[in-house]
Amino acid sequence: MLFYVIPFFLWIALMTILPSTALNYAIRGGVVAAALIGGCILLKKHPFVRIGWKSLLFGILGGILVTVIWILPESCEWYKTWLCWPPGVKMSPIETPSPYDPLVCGWTLTIIKLIASSFIIAPVEEIFFRSFLYRWLQKKDFESVPLSKFNLTAFVWMVTLFAIEHDRFFVAAIAGAVYGLLAIRFSLSSAIIGHVTTNLLLALYVIHERMWSFW
């Protein structure tokens, strides 16, 4: 159980404790990466299994779909007011320079932010929400539950809690559903690939378009 939950809760705890700076994000990424890799080695857990061509293809396509869904509603004022946290308070663009802007923190820390958000937090969230939480909601001995087993109640709770974790809760719920279906239909690897694809494309979009509100 520790392998599935410690990296995620470390991420949340450090996000709560440390101020939002590029350096602190790099520290969080390093600590969580060490916990994840250490768990893989010490506990002999291997989240990347069954990476067939379908898992890879549909994971990438799912990630692209979520990226489009994440970006498109940003021009809708009603969406930014009622479908983002907190509802009723319009989400506004960041007025002050973003701490992740290379003009503020330098390109090294901006690239570290891109790498951490794409290749560290995405796998950590998938391992927690899809591999642990979804199965644990069905049975406390969660490792005995096949990930391919669909349970509507557990699925809805998993999607809901994933949405609550994100500021854009409506599109996050759609993302959680897409990643969940990838995990159930193909494998956890497919969900991880989808989430990594989304976060990587969003990071490139953020940097290119200077849409720092996504970060």
User: How does DSSP assign 189-205, residue by residue?
Assistant: HHHHHHHHHHHHHHHHH
Each residue of 159-210: pLDDT tens digit? Answer: 999 999 999 999 999 999 999 999 999 999 999 999 999 999 999 999 999 9
Give the pLDDT confidence score for residue 172 in this predicted structure: 98
pTM, to two decimals? 0.95
Each residue of 141-154: pLDDT tens digit? Answer: 999 999 999 999 99
Residue 46 has pLDDT above 80, yes or no: no
Give the confidence band of 43 by pLDDT, cuts at 50, 70, 90. Answer: confident
Give the confidence band of 49 by pLDDT, cuts at 50, 70, 90. Answer: low
Q: What is the mean pLDDT of the chain?
A: 94
Closest CA to 31 of 12, 45, 11, 51: 11
Report the distance separating Cα 4 and Cα 25, nearest Å: 21
Give the pLDDT confidence score for residue 96 in this predicted structure: 74
Give the confidence band of 41 by pLDDT, cuts at 50, 70, 90. Answer: confident
What is the percent of the chain where pLDDT is above 90?
87
Residue 207 CB: number of other CB atoms within 10 A? 19
Give the pLDDT confidence score for residue 48 in this predicted structure: 64
Report the distance separating Cα 156 and Cα 3, nearest Å: 23
Report the distance separating Cα 26 and Cα 111, nearest Å: 10
Report the distance separating Cα 49 and Cα 54, nearest Å: 13
